[in-house]
Structure 1
């Protein structure tokens, strides 16, 4: 019998399967899309995430990141990472590197969808396969989470993300977050001649219309060719009733999501993957809920606070000037999210 069935072949799902394989468990991943799997995201991995990838034996090619910089017109605030460097990496490159490592460890990837999940006292059956446990790593709008009744309504303003890449040499080895009254734009260098630009906002409008709210950034990109189409995601915030339902555990974005504003998505996905497998390995699946809350707590609190400020035009303009006036506070916040 399969030890662990994983729904979703993105970074969270592949990392879960790799963790399981490293512990001697048989893991099978079910993924409907051909690899490598892409997604609209900022593509910056914090130092903690880089270390987590290295522990899995994964070292994708990308662009070294030294810290975070906030920009709003003439106002700037920046803080370098204290504990190593981050990595700007295309999502497809990251997915491919994780897939290669999983294959090397004997993880099977089965094309298909999980569909109905049936649980018994000692097994779970999905996608025509029977396993001891199922980890749902099937993304922001997880079908498994929804089918298990684990979603909670959220009546707060919705936010969405759009991303595109430009063929231009990075002008910084910092992730730049450009602020405006209408949202934020994230610039992440992902190669020596390529930057990704992700826009987050509560407004539904075309990517170019969003970019017009950041004239300084638009001027920087003016000489660069857009090398792909716009990819979107959202609504971003996802509330979850719980992350353990019988023999099913939720990992990555499927476990709940606040916002992409602090750039911790990949790092949290890797951390939750390790925590879930660790709890299963020790025979204590019920401990995963508390473990998830502990490892995500700082991220959730800081992101909630920033989103509340950023979603209001009267306070969004105060974020960068305040950070510029209090460099130690900004540096401490960046350090806490590493």
Structure 2
């Protein structure tokens, strides 16, 4: 039985990695050993599972069926083994960490705004953060569906809500926000202020590489759609980086309104340009795993995060 599990585990790792060399790096063993294990698995099943081509590893029909049928089971076994290991190494429940999965951008907000208040509410709390980028979620969404289940709390955007298994998660809270056009007073002093959407093409519009790199799609106060041409010299899929560049005066950014809601010296230097224009609303959602290692602690932490966000944003 153990031999079959080992072979299946090597098979899963190989497919997730995409090549023998990458699987070798992940597992820390020679690629010839992995190849031998896959051959043994094919002999056990009596079917060819993979083929090699110039594109790398490709699944056969039998391989695809096996992968899809066993992936969830292997993930469940891995999680169970991790939980057992965690319980052995953390016999004192107070030391069991709350594992949180969230975007890199929101992690900055979490660290600087939520975590200090969370420590006040739950002094002995132990946190483990894991982050994702938007591009990573888009590329690896199928793999991440199972990976996410290993966490106690997930903070995500509605764009990726379909990755959440409703049988595993409860929604604690959600906040709607919009994106608007912002620039620093220093930038406007040097480059002038755009008076209409068409003027944006003459400015350095810092943009996210998640969507169109040449246009911003906006709504006016009457919810009429506008598509405006932009030009810029910096792109990222981490929105908080664009916020910081806007604050430093490097250009104009289309950014979440929440970034500049809180009164501060930094935000005083920021101007909302063409305020009648905005994006469609998007939601940020906080969820707790109903199968968390410590369900009550996950619920307590999730409620505390909700309360803290309500203090910061009166609209949560």
Taking structure 1 as the reference length, what is the TM-score of the superposition?
0.23
* Higher-helix-fraction structure: 2
Which structure dedicates a bigger proportion of its chain to strand? 1
